[in-house]
Structure 1
Amino acid sequence: MKKSIHDQVAIIGMGCTSFGEHWEKSTDDLIIEAAAEAIECAGIEPSHIDAAWIGTMDSGYAGMTLATPLKTDYLPVTRVENMCATGSEAFRNACYAVAAGAYDVALVVGVEKLKDSGYSGLVINSQPGDGTFPNITAPGAFALLAPPYFQKYGLEKKQGKEVLARVAWKNHQNGAKNPKAQFQKEVPIETILKAPLVADPLGVFDCSGVADGAAAAIVVRTEDVNKFSGRPMYVKALSVAVGNGNGLLQSDYDFTYIRENQKAAAEAYRQAGITNPLKELDLAEVHDCFTPTELVICEDLGFSERGEGWKDVLNGKFDLNGVLPVNPDGGLKSFGHPIGASGLRMLYEVYLQFFERAGNRQLPNPKLGLTHNLGGYPWQCVSFISIVGKELT
């Protein structure tokens, strides 16, 4: 029987480093910086922490990745990896452990030090298989979303490219307002359209940044929030859908949607009691690893009717002053994408927005937010959704 974590757990403090090329900082430095901010925000002492989770794809192994820099007092520390949903997965595990009563206070940190690793964002080692899985780069895989979408919904390639450029333009507009973003500069649509191709039809500005960074959260049970001075943000839903390998085997799959997104969204909305996400949510942070991904995600998550997302993008529906602001912090596209940190970075933005700490990108009185990660490929991935609220319901 499916149950819900609705309002059982709260985040009482969050921290986040700036994202970017941190040649002068180590993985340890980033973990310490993010965790210190979260601990201070929560108004707790490090000794209050009962357990910790560290999410990283390839910047450390085992719990010592966190225990060593933070010098924790032999606490249980679990290292988690779940592709680009790694930070969100670490958060989910901590939430369930706290809700179950195993621990009272949990620290969650997501971190990635990609620049020193030589990881380019284009080529990674494929996991072992039977030889039938396509050997393809991430931009190449997500570029496959665009031509079928254009064809199915009647867009000429030029018009389709303009839609994708509008997604990138919006996220750079938002990132320019964010002092912690990797790219803090507005980019004209003409520049985006003329950028060199990476994987047709995607140009350089259609791809998210490769970055170093860390983010952190302090999690407690809702019944205990009054014991701490940190301001609480309540978890309404946590949902993960994992592809079962059938994506490319199903003849009806046409690359205009991502099944795992649909499954994760349906379950998250059930837990949170949401029937109309467009009207009920105040902001959304989604996994815009590439511009067509954000376009498809907005339809998968019910922000747009199927085949109408491109019109909503052009009409500014998801702009900072739109009906539903999407990626108000700049998203992966502008904030950057240190893989293990991205999911927690999204929650950090919602936390800032709820408590009017978002500066000149501040939204008017937001109370309900969604974060979304995906890792893998359009035809087989891990999709994660959290829904968090400013108030108990």
Structure 2
Amino acid sequence: MTLACGVEKLMDEGGRGLPGTTVMGHPVLPRPSAPAMFCLLATRSFHEFGWRKEDLARVAVKNHENGYYHPKAHFRMKITLEQAMNAPMIADPLGRYDCCAMSDGSAALILTRPELAESYAHADDYVLVKSNSLSVHTAYPWYDPKFKFTCAPATIDAAKMAYKEANITNPRKEIDLAEVHDCFTITELLNCQDLQLCDQGKAAEELQKGTFNWDGETAINPSGGLKSFGHPIGSTGCRMVQEVTKQLQGRAEGRQVPDAKIGLAHNLGGAYAVCSVTILGQRD
């Protein structure tokens, strides 16, 4: 048996509690802030895919709607498209409602072999870890002339490995729900593409069609995601797996995804540099 825990306490320190570094190769310039790094993805995606700020706002509205029904969410409030569109700017085109907040929190997971799980509590509804993968790429993508700023290679590679191990050949049809790393609204849209849950450049269109709603074809962030549930950084990865587990057990009160059998947890770190993908499923 293994116990995996994550914890974060940022509210006392705010941004000062986050680790900092300098830009590699320069002795003075600080590393860009998180909004400054991720707004690059938004502006490039606007150019490549024809997306607009309204598409980002729809992500925020959806996730606040989902988080409203989660009893432990940091922000249990619904917002309108107009509120998201008119919020103060943080790093153009990312406004206040495009950025996740700092949160305190903790999460814990217990893992064991299937033959031992039946001897513990909730033995009738434990879930299986079908695959887990990790991929690491450069933490300084702005120095890479081949970096596209419309995808995260770490996510693409981790997803491919996870799907292969779990024997998943059509993620869009086989994954019922996914908790993805929506540190910013643009990140959720790009994650959906990198995880093969929609075609390249089509995430905003699928979102508008309702594909990613909690009762849609593939529910994305039924917990409210980092945007609404919160992002206690050290515990977010465990928290995502916990949410998928509850959904597969049918015990996600007030936000249950219908007929959920296979779920995915996606966690991203750094400047889109490191990614883990975990796929969980009900017992065979």
- Determine if the TM-score, normalized by the shorter chain, exceeds 0.5: yes
Cα deviation for residue 127 of structure 1 reads 5.9
Cα deviation for residue 134 of structure 1 reads 6.4
Instruction: Report the equivalent of 1:130.
Output: 25
Mapping of residues 347-362 of structure 1, within 5 Å = 347-362=241-256
Cα deviation for residue 343 of structure 1 reads 0.9
Residues 166 and 313 in structure 1, CA contact (< 8 A), matched pair in contact too = yes
1:373 aligns to what SS in structure 2? strand
Which runs of 5 or more residues in structure 2 are unaligned? none
Instruction: Report the equivalent of 1:327.
Output: 221
Instruction: Report the equivalent of 1:169.
Output: 61
2:168 is aligned with 1:274: yes
Deviations, residues 210-257 of structure 1 (Å, cap 9, x unaligned): 100001111111221222233411101110001145733432322111
Residues 23 and 30 in structure 2, CA contact (< 8 A), matched pair in contact too = no
RMSD, aligned α-carbons: 1.8
2:136 is aligned with 1:242: yes
Residues 209 and 335 in structure 1, CA contact (< 8 A), matched pair in contact too = no
Instruction: Report the equivalent of 1:118.
Output: 14
Residues 140 and 271 in structure 2, CA contact (< 8 A), matched pair in contact too = no
Structure 1 residue ranges, 4+ long, deviating more than 4 angstroms after superposition: none
Structure of greater Rg: 1
Q: 1:313 to 1:120 in 2, by over 3 A?
A: farther
Instruction: Report the equivalent of 1:152.
Output: 48
C-alpha separation between the residues in 2 aligned to 1:256 and 1:172? 24
2:275 is aligned with 1:383: yes
2:245 aligns to what SS in structure 1? helix
User: How many pairs does the alignment contain?
Assistant: 281
Which runs of 5 or more residues in structure 1 are unaligned? 1-104
Mapping of residues 138-287 of structure 1, within 5 Å = 138-155=34-51, 160-231=52-123, 232-244=126-138, 247-287=141-181
1:227 aligns to what SS in structure 2? coil
Residues 120 and 210 in structure 1, CA contact (< 8 A), matched pair in contact too = no
Percent identity, please. Answer: 44
C-alpha separation between the residues in 2 aligned to 1:168 and 1:223? 41
Residues 115 and 212 in structure 1, CA contact (< 8 A), matched pair in contact too = yes
Instruction: Report the equivalent of 1:297.
Output: 191
Deviations, residues 341-374 of structure 1 (Å, cap 9, x unaligned): 1111111111211222212211122111000000
Q: 1:135 to 1:127 in 2, by over 3 A?
A: closer
1:361 aligns to what SS in structure 2? coil
2:5 aligns to what SS in structure 1? strand
C-alpha separation between the residues in 2 aligned to 1:204 and 1:118? 16
Deviations, residues 30-52 of structure 1 (Å, cap 9, x unaligned): xxxxxxxxxxxxxxxxxxxxxxx
1:350 aligns to what SS in structure 2? helix
C-alpha separation between the residues in 2 aligned to 1:250 and 1:217? 37
